[in-house]
Amino acid sequence: MDKKTVEKLYETCYMQVYSYVMTLAKDSNKAQEITQETFYKAMTTKQTFRGESECLSWLCAIAKNSFIDETRRSSRFQDEPDEPIADSGTDIEQSITDSETSFRIHMLLHDMEEPYKEVFELRVFGELSFTQIGAIFQKTETWARVTYHRARLKLKERMDKNEI
């Protein structure tokens, strides 16, 4: 790829790739690193974009593989994840309640089967359109809409069952 093409691709797709990686990593620093690595790989790899899909889909595939690689690498060296520090300016009781509820919802999401889990996270946390989600999975926009709707119903059902 030439420099101009890479710059244009970076300007148009950076935030969408970053948002996608953020749904996977759930950590802004890690998401920024993986997003930068994604564009670096896209620019330097011998396998270039073939035009069989949208550029965003291609970049998201690279990002997903980079995230998986990074997760494997870091899991070898990390024993326990760091606990988030509560904001000292908020009511502690409310903060604990909110964080517990959030944690329980994320646990329900974690146990959800694929592709429902990833589609839901891409839509809610990644703020991607149904067209973009469909492109990532190499499916139609309608498939993405139906899968997201089913994921929402499954999550709501599990929340009701667990009284969240």
User: pLDDT-based confidence at 52, cuts 50/70/90?
Assistant: low
44 part of a folded domain: yes
Q: Examine the pLDDT at 75 and tell me if it is beyond 50.
A: yes
Same domain, 115 and 62: no
Same domain, 101 and 51: no
**CATH code of the domain containing 62:** 1.10.1740.10
Same domain, 156 and 101: yes
Highest mean pLDDT among 49-53, 61-65, 72-76, 157-161: 61-65
Average pLDDT over residues 91-106: 64
Same domain, 98 and 43: no
Q: Examine the pLDDT at 92 and tell me if it is beyond 50.
A: no
C-alpha 32: how far from chain center: 12
- The pLDDT of residue 90 is 47
136 part of a folded domain: yes
Angle between helices 141-161 and 116-124 (to 10 degrees): 100
80 part of a folded domain: no
Residue where one domain finishes, among candidates 14, 45, 75: 75
88 part of a folded domain: no
What residue numbers bound the domain in which 37 lies? 3-75
119 part of a folded domain: yes
Same domain, 71 and 105: no
Q: Examine the pLDDT at 97 and tell me if it is beyond 60.
A: no
- The pLDDT of residue 51 is 55
Q: Examine the pLDDT at 20 and tell me if it is beyond 70.
A: yes
83 part of a folded domain: no
Average pLDDT over residues 48-55: 63
Average pLDDT over residues 128-141: 89
81 part of a folded domain: no
Average pLDDT over residues 78-88: 48
The proportion of the chain whose per-residue pLDDT surpasses 70, expressed as a percent, equals: 79
What's the structural domain count of the chain?
A: 2
Same domain, 147 and 108: yes
Report pTM.
Answer: 0.47
Query: What tokens appear for 53 in the block?
Result: 């899909």
Identity of the residue numbered 111: D
Residue where one domain finishes, among candidates 75, 109, 132: 75
d(Cα 164, Cα 161) in Å, to the nearest integer?
8
d(Cα 74, Cα 33) in Å, to the nearest integer?
13
85 part of a folded domain: no
